Structure 1
Amino acid sequence: MNTFLAIIVIFGLLVFIHEWGHLVMAKRAGILCREFAIGFGPKLFSFYRNETTYTIRLLPLGGFVRMAGEDPELVQIKPGYEVGLTFNEEGKVREIIINNKSKHPESKVIQVEKIDMEHDLFIQGYTEDSEELVTYELDRKAAYIYDEKATQIAPYDRQFSSKTVGQRALAIFAGPFMNFVLAVVVLILYAALAGLPVNEAQVGEVTEDGVAIDAGLESGDSIEAIDGQPVETWEDMTSIIQERPNEAMDFVIDRNGEEFTVTMTPEEREVPEAENVGVIGVMAPTERSITGAVTFGFTQTYEYTTLIFNALGMLITGGFSLDALAGPVGIYDYTGEVVSMGFLLLFQWAAILSVNLGIINLLPLPALDGGRLLFIGLEAVRGKPIDPQKEGLVHFVGFALLMLLVLAVTWNDINRLFL
């Protein structure tokens, strides 16, 4: 259950921040954002605010921001339709009732002759009691109502495609960018709570299952020398201990200005794909510093980014097997391992996942943010947009292939973990 809750919280946060980046930059560009969703599938919860419906959906596999103009309108009003109209105080059409007009007896019923909800914003038709053609101006925030569900119209200047290349690129890029920002913030919090390692030959904490606790070592003890060899840094101390497992050594300890000697035999510990090392069961000393925490947040995010890019490069060149990739099942399993190692490590794990999500989304692949940015870049070079139908087909095929890859990786996870 702890693992499940950790997954829900971490992935919910990662998806929320990613989609929030899209939402903020899209709204700053004046794009009408119809929906901000966490998850896919049936709605579990929703509320409406500032032109946008915020929803939580059943399947926690991602999220989306539905911007006006990206997809065709689900409902189209054609000549010959009978619709009901309601008006605002200025006499402009506020609502267009497409069906269930009996539930809106106050509306004026007309037979549509012509309608433009994008550019000139008008509706033209014949009323029930007159054969005279009448024209009504649409309010810029008018809504059409179908099955008692209201959808705000999207004038062309509120649509995604009407914005400049730069505005659209920023709206798309903002999602992955916010994942990097989240990683920095989470790592700063981790460093502020856990402290930063100090390169001093000093005992930070003593573990309960090591030889150091049996020898009487305490937090704050300084290691002055090992077998007559002076040590000054944590690296000096650990290198000697690691190189001599199962060998008894004399440690000169300084505690509050008083020196004494203890004998300890480092225990041998296995290290994957390396020689076994010696350990005595102590942790490095730490310090808490705002400046250090901020620096750690940026530098560690950079290191995670570099590692992931290196892994992607090895994947392309064949130095990294697809079998080593982790899908949803594998990530769930790894999260369970992190949960068992302590709450603070979840901060680092969340940062790694956030950087990974940001990088994957920036790859120039169809259906991902990077693929959309690629099409926007091609438009900038060509001086005109790619045919929307062709672009949509590419994204659809790309999404299908991406889902196949997810299924393949998930099957590998299941084989590795359960079979």
Structure 2
Amino acid sequence: MSTFIWFLIIFGTIVIVHEFGHFFFARKSGILVREFSVGMGPKLYSKRSGSTAYTVRMLPLGGYVRMAGWQDEEADLRPGMQVSLITGANGKISRINTSDKLMLEGGVPVQVSASDLIDKLTISGYANGDESQLLTWDVDHDATVIEKDGTEVQIAPRDVQFQSVSIWRRILVNFAGPMNNFILAFIAFFVLALTMGVPSTGNQIGTVSSNSPAARAGLQANDRIVAVDGKQTGSFQAVATQIGKHKQQSIKLSVRRGGKAMTLTVKPKKGLIGISSAIDRNIGTALKYSVTEPWQLTRQILGALRSLVTGGFSLNKLAGPVGIYTMTSQAASGGLYTIIWFMASLSINLGIMNLLPIPMLDGGKIVLNIIEMIRRKPLPPEKEGMVTLVGAALVFALMIAVTINDILRIF
């Protein structure tokens, strides 16, 4: 149960931060965000605030920001649909109910004949079952529609649609999700370094294990090992490397304790003497760590992606939700430090994966934006929709294959 809770916290945090990037820059660009969802699948909870419906859905496998005018947007109304309409104080339709899960008090039952909720903002149909008279209603620009599952979202007039803003704003909106993942990792590593510290790069000893070769030789915390058998050691890594060359043989350490220099003899055990580096918790070190650690992880992830292409594709090099759940269990057993570190590394991974030039992913959308910029006109909607559909099918198929492989690896 604790693993499941940590999985929800870690994955939920990463998804919310990612989607908030899209949400924030879409709103700043004048794009209507109809829904901000955490999770996928059937709706569990929905609350509308301002122009956006905030929902929680059953499957904790992701989330989405639903912007007005995206190519995957279904028509709100179709001919023959039975709806009920509420008229606002200005005489225009303010709410449209298409759901049988909710009844609107005072709503007029209408069979839709035609509708345009994008440009003309009108609905035509037959009221109260009277098919002898076709009526037309004007729809308010900020009217809402209650969908089949009971989620109430705002309609999507053309002036607030995704395609109505400049190409540069659209690129920024698409990039903002991965960007937020990188920012989350930066903050997480900074907090870790500032609160729990990071190993010092200097040659100062942090702790000496009791009954260790170092303790028996007289080494103390805060001593600096400046040389091992006459070889200069300016960093703790250099100290460890030089000591590691001597598995069992006695070695001489040049040590500075305060302002005093001394030489101590120690006999390593299997290349170790029982010391650890000092821990830094200053802001400068934390800032450096919050940049260098994400950079190292980014290089490792890019190297792994490169090996998928050059070293032969293998599902064992990938992990889906089941694999991430397993890794969450391992991270949870290591304590809070390991959990935060895992969340930060997973956030970087998600950011990089989303920037891959695959249709449906953010990187694929940016590629389509760049193509539109070069052509100086967007791709035909049917072609863009087909490309996105193919990309979605490939990603979905890969996710199923990875998930099955993760399960097989467990058993």
TM-score (norm 2): 0.85
- Residue aligning to 1:369: 362
Tell me the distance in 1 between the aligned counterparts of 2:221 and 2:134.
89
Tell me the distance in 1 between the aligned counterparts of 2:101 and 2:244.
81
Deviates more, 1:3-12 or 1:201-210: 201-210
- Residue aligning to 1:238: 240
* Aligned counterpart for 1:344 among listed residues 337, 340, 352: 337
Tell me the distance in 2 between the aligned counterparts of 1:133 and 1:320.
61
SS of the aligned residue for 2:336 comes to coil
The CA deviation at 1:358 is 0.9
> Is 1:355 the counterpart of 2:357 in the alignment?
no
Matches within 5 A, 1:102-251: 103-104=103-104, 106-108=106-108, 114-124=114-124, 135-145=136-146, 150-207=152-209, 211-212=213-214, 217-223=219-225, 225-227=227-229, 231-251=233-253
> Is 1:282 the counterpart of 2:283 in the alignment?
no
Q: Percent identity?
A: 41
Tell me the distance in 2 between the aligned counterparts of 1:102 and 1:63.
25
CA contact (8 A) 1:311 1:320 kept: no
CA contact (8 A) 2:181 2:348 kept: yes
The CA deviation at 1:308 is 1.9
Tell me the distance in 2 between the aligned counterparts of 1:98 and 1:139.
17
CA contact (8 A) 2:207 2:277 kept: yes
> Is 1:316 the counterpart of 2:317 in the alignment?
no
Tell me the distance in 2 between the aligned counterparts of 1:96 and 1:317.
54
Tell me the distance in 2 between the aligned counterparts of 1:301 and 1:126.
60
User: Compared with structure 1, are the counterparts of its residues 131 and 316 closer, same or farther at alpha carbon in structure 2 (3 Å cutoff)?
Assistant: closer
Deviates more, 1:166-175 or 1:302-311: 302-311
Superposed CA deviations along residues 19-61 of structure 1, whole A, max 9, x for unmatched, are 1111111122222222212221223333221222222222222
Matches within 5 A, 1:39-58: 39-58=39-58
CA contact (8 A) 1:315 1:322 kept: no
Superposed CA deviations along residues 94-125 of structure 1, whole A, max 9, x for unmatched, are 12345779955634566656532211223356
* Aligned counterpart for 2:295 among listed residues 302, 305, 308: 302
CA contact (8 A) 2:294 2:348 kept: yes
Superposed CA deviations along residues 250-301 of structure 1, whole A, max 9, x for unmatched, are 4465555667766543233xxxxxxxxx222322112222233223212332
The CA deviation at 1:127 is 6.2
Tell me the distance in 1 between the aligned counterparts of 2:327 and 2:105.
59
CA contact (8 A) 2:61 2:321 kept: no
The CA deviation at 1:369 is 1.3
- Residue aligning to 1:381: 374
* Aligned counterpart for 2:325 among listed residues 328, 332, 335: 332
User: Compared with structure 1, are the counterparts of its residues 313 and 50 closer, same or farther at alpha carbon in structure 2 (3 Å cutoff)?
Assistant: same
Matches within 5 A, 1:11-50: 11-50=11-50
* Aligned counterpart for 1:265 among listed residues 253, 257, 267: 267
- Residue aligning to 1:8: 8
Tell me the distance in 1 between the aligned counterparts of 2:102 and 2:220.
81
Matches within 5 A, 1:68-87: 68-70=68-70, 71-73=72-74, 75-78=76-79, 84-87=84-87
Give unmatched runs, 5+ long, in structure 1: 269-277
CA contact (8 A) 1:82 1:111 kept: yes
User: Compared with structure 1, are the counterparts of its residues 294 and 212 closer, same or farther at alpha carbon in structure 2 (3 Å cutoff)?
Assistant: same
Q: Residue type matched to 2:143 in 1?
A: A
Tell me the distance in 1 between the aligned counterparts of 2:316 and 2:274.
34
- Residue aligning to 2:285: 292
User: Compared with structure 1, are the counterparts of its residues 121 and 168 closer, same or farther at alpha carbon in structure 2 (3 Å cutoff)?
Assistant: same
User: Compared with structure 1, are the counterparts of its residues 99 and 46 closer, same or farther at alpha carbon in structure 2 (3 Å cutoff)?
Assistant: closer
User: Compared with structure 1, are the counterparts of its residues 327 and 228 closer, same or farther at alpha carbon in structure 2 (3 Å cutoff)?
Assistant: same
The CA deviation at 1:199 is 3.2
- Residue aligning to 1:94: 94
Give unmatched runs, 5+ long, in structure 2: none
CA contact (8 A) 1:83 1:101 kept: no
Deviates more, 1:244-253 or 1:104-113: 104-113
Tell me the distance in 2 between the aligned counterparts of 1:36 and 1:132.
39
The CA deviation at 1:202 is 2.0
CA contact (8 A) 1:366 1:398 kept: yes
SS of the aligned residue for 1:69 comes to coil
Deviates more, 1:36-45 or 1:403-412: 403-412
Count of paired positions = 408
TM-score (norm 1): 0.83
